[in-house]
Amino acid sequence: MELTNNNNPPQEGRPKILTILCILSFIGSGMGLLAYTFYGLMYNEVESMIEQGQFSFPGIEILMSGGSRYFLIGALLYLISFLGVYLMWKMRTIGFHFYTAAQILMLILPFLALENYPIPFVDFIITLIFIFLYRKFLPIMN
């Protein structure tokens, strides 16, 4: 015969969907932070590699038009986004606000810093989906 103790309330942890969202955001923000930090700190070297034809991908000229400042500001925004995700992982409401502010500023930054930047509809949609999904969990965060 198994005895159960009904005096202990069930443990309320992080919902699985929130865990999945956070993991995806950790990956995205972490990779963005690494890439933008690298480009920001190594801007002159990367620019030289592009001029010599050693490094290229579609749209690199548009990204490089922002200079190292664009990448360093982007790295800071990715860091804030990563911090926001970490805080949401810890079930802290303030994390949602950090994440949302950083994501919105990341959508605006290219229009302020880059020349001939095309409108990234897919980026807008994905960002909005993540923000709205995270928002659903605000009531259970502290």
In a domain? residue 117? yes
In a domain? residue 2? no
Give tens-digit pLDDT for 7-20.
Answer: 444 446 899 999 99
**What is the value of pTM for the model shown?**
0.86
Give tens-digit pLDDT for 56-76.
Answer: 788 888 999 999 999 999 999
Give tens-digit pLDDT for 80-128.
Answer: 999 999 999 999 999 999 999 999 999 999 999 998 899 899 999 999 9
CB 141 within 8 A of CB 96: yes
In a domain? residue 5? no
Determine the pLDDT at residue 37.
Answer: 98
In a domain? residue 42? yes
Task: State the total domains in the chain.
Answer: 1
